[in-house]
Structure 1
Amino acid sequence: MLKTALIVCFVVINLPIQNEATESPIIGILVQETSPYINGKFPNHNAYLAASYVKYVESSGARVVPIFINQTKSYYRKIIQSINGVLLPGGNTWFSNKDGYADAGDIIYKLIKEENENGNTYPILGICLGFELLIYLDASKTDIRTNCSSVDKALNLHLQENYNDSKIFKSAPKELIRILEKENVTYNSHRYCITEENVKKNKLDKFWRVVAWNMDNSKAVEFVSILESVKYPFLGLQFHPEKNIFEWNKKKNVPHSANAILVGRYFSDWLVKEARRNQNRFITKTLEKSALIYNYQPFHTGLKGIAFDQMYFFKI
């Protein structure tokens, strides 16, 4: 039986920031509102989390806490101060939805910036819609996306000339770079794009560095594939590395080669490695356990024509 979402109150302890890493990192993943199509297949819920993101984080040695939408700022502050990093997942929702994915993301983003400003390393990984959300928020909630067509497409990356100066690739193995540049191992599924032109036009290049780019299906739009924050441990990916490892819809062109798996793991490993530098924790193991994703049961949703093989549902 599905357990409905239990919103718990977290008590926070502020710890001094130390050099040694935590051995038990916890990553928060933001849930999002269900679409009418999903509601038709799985009614009586209003929020979901694709299980592939949960398994993606777990595969790199971290545990997961779902972060719920439509909550108070106090809730978000307490949970952000109890975990070690955040993943903003892809999906299909609108930034204009009141008290939804974007509104929650806005509060979370500001709180995590505060954590970093206070000397507490705190990473964010934004994937597809999550990547676009980071740019939307830094553009003062102005949607600077461009219409494009890059749906169900596996691509190689075009890396910027100075990619090896980037934080994400400065220590990357040469073989990984070769795979990214030569093989179609990044899976794209988006109808909107962020262009480098729009990043510069909105003066976001002061905050974000373009690391890699690609062309859409029409070959008419050059879009950003990877962005990293100039100042913070924030990374945005327009493609879906989690799908390489955990989504198996045979009608989709998701790459599942050994090299595609290697590439997928690289970015989750980055997130968890950065999270290990964060010293936040729940004040008690009881509160920690009550917040973990283990308290919820995933459904096998791929059988009902939904893009994700497994999903968690919540009533919030």
Structure 2
Amino acid sequence: MSGMCSHFRLVTLILYLLAIDLLVVTSRSFPDRRTVQLHRNSNQYRVNNNRPIIGILSQDLSKSMASVSPGSTSYIAASYVKWVEGQGARVVPIKLLIPGGGASLLTSGYSKAGSILYELAIEANNNGDFFPVWGTCLGFELLLYLSAAKRNYLTSCESYNRASQLKFLSDASTSVLFERAPLAVMKTLRKEKSTSNFHHWCMTMENMTTSSLDKFYRSLATSTDDKNLEFVATIEAVNYPIWGVQFHPEKNVYEWGTNLTSVPHSSDAVKAGLYFGDFFVNQARKSQHRFSSEQEEASNLIYNYTPLYTGNVSSSFLQSYFFY
């Protein structure tokens, strides 16, 4: 994704697809904690939308990925698509599940487009329009960056190609994300090295406090890197339906690269990875966003694109979708 034209097309698609008649948020101050906690008002948002569509934001191409599809400008790893499709949702490329990857938080088209979408989501939720957001790995880091008024509080760490357990914090038991999680899933996450980590930057609990991000997000769980540095692994926004994980739950199920030696593929680890996808899809079921017609819906779905094999050029993704 490159150039301002791409960004305006993206915003137009988001505005039209999700029926949000809003201006982009200009204030980046933390919201008043008295803001209605949309994600906790389960009675208000028990919408039975059994045809949920989740947008996935594409990201900038590396040189190796560009070689697979010359002329393309961005891509989405197929594992992200499968992760939500497997839980009963469909996908439209370029929207709001913020995937992981290696793009810059400061300069990439991914970051700039993600910023626009984040602001639209905040504004939508402030106006009572339920608009859930999920961030994985780089998406997790991008959420923290944007929520801190575009200031970077991440610290260097070594947690690449590493499987880890989760250390649950006190807020986990009362969180929307974990309060109804199956006991078997919680046990797996706590006892087994069941989360797949591929990152060189981490958010510490200390920096959550220093940045005041602990006023926006509840830290639900931590993990440790190769040098025993403890970092935040899971977050949930206090007043918004926004969640993020530093690890890759989709890799447990769908990524099998020969260099991904740490990815846990046990039956229990797979179930744990799928739990997060199931949770987010069920959040999407609370939304009544619709396309204006079946024809328009069909023309925008990811089924219009064919994934290509990328395991020969990427150590992270076996298949990817490419966009021009």
Partner residue in 2 for 1:235: 243
Q: For the residues of structure 1 that align with 2:186 and 2:163, how far apart are their CA atoms?
A: 16
**Residue 210 of structure 2 is aligned to residue 210 of structure 1:** no
Partner residue in 2 for 1:77: none
Deviations 1:229-250 (A, max 9, x none): 0111111100000000000113
**Residue 110 of structure 2 is aligned to residue 101 of structure 1:** yes
Partner residue in 2 for 1:181: 190
| SS of residue matched to 1:130 | helix
Q: CA deviation at 1:146?
A: 0.4
| SS of residue matched to 1:214 | strand
Q: For the residues of structure 2 that align with 1:50 and 1:302, how far apart are their CA atoms?
A: 11
Q: Choose which of 149, 153, 159 in structure 2 pairs with 1:140.
A: 149
Deviations 1:90-110 (A, max 9, x none): 001112225x01110111011
| Percent identity for Structure 1 against Structure 2 | 43
| SS of residue matched to 2:250 | helix
User: What is the number of equivalent residue pairs in this alignment?
Assistant: 290
Partner residue in 1 for 2:264: 255
Partner residue in 2 for 1:23: 50
Partner residue in 2 for 1:244: 252
Q: For the residues of structure 2 that align with 1:66 and 1:202, how far apart are their CA atoms?
A: 32
Partner residue in 1 for 2:273: 264
Partner residue in 1 for 2:36: none
Structure 1 residue runs without a partner (length 5+): 69-85
Contact preservation (8 Å) 1:120, 1:279: no
Letter in 1 for 2:259: K
Q: CA RMSD in A?
A: 2.0
Partner residue in 2 for 1:307: 316
Q: For the residues of structure 1 that align with 2:247 and 2:17, how far apart are their CA atoms?
A: 35
Contact preservation (8 Å) 2:164, 2:224: no
| TM-score, with length taken from structure 2 | 0.85
Q: For the residues of structure 1 that align with 2:273 and 2:45, how far apart are their CA atoms?
A: 30
Partner residue in 1 for 2:65: 38
| SS of residue matched to 1:169 | coil
Q: For the residues of structure 2 that align with 1:12 and 1:41, how far apart are their CA atoms?
A: 30
Partner residue in 1 for 2:88: 61
Contact preservation (8 Å) 1:121, 1:274: no
Contact preservation (8 Å) 1:125, 1:271: yes
Report the CA distance shift for 1:87/1:14 in structure 2 as closer, same or farther (over 3 A).
closer
Q: For the residues of structure 2 that align with 1:145 and 1:305, how far apart are their CA atoms?
A: 25
Partner residue in 1 for 2:299: 290
Report the CA distance shift for 1:290/1:171 in structure 2 as closer, same or farther (over 3 A).
same
Letter in 2 for 1:170: E
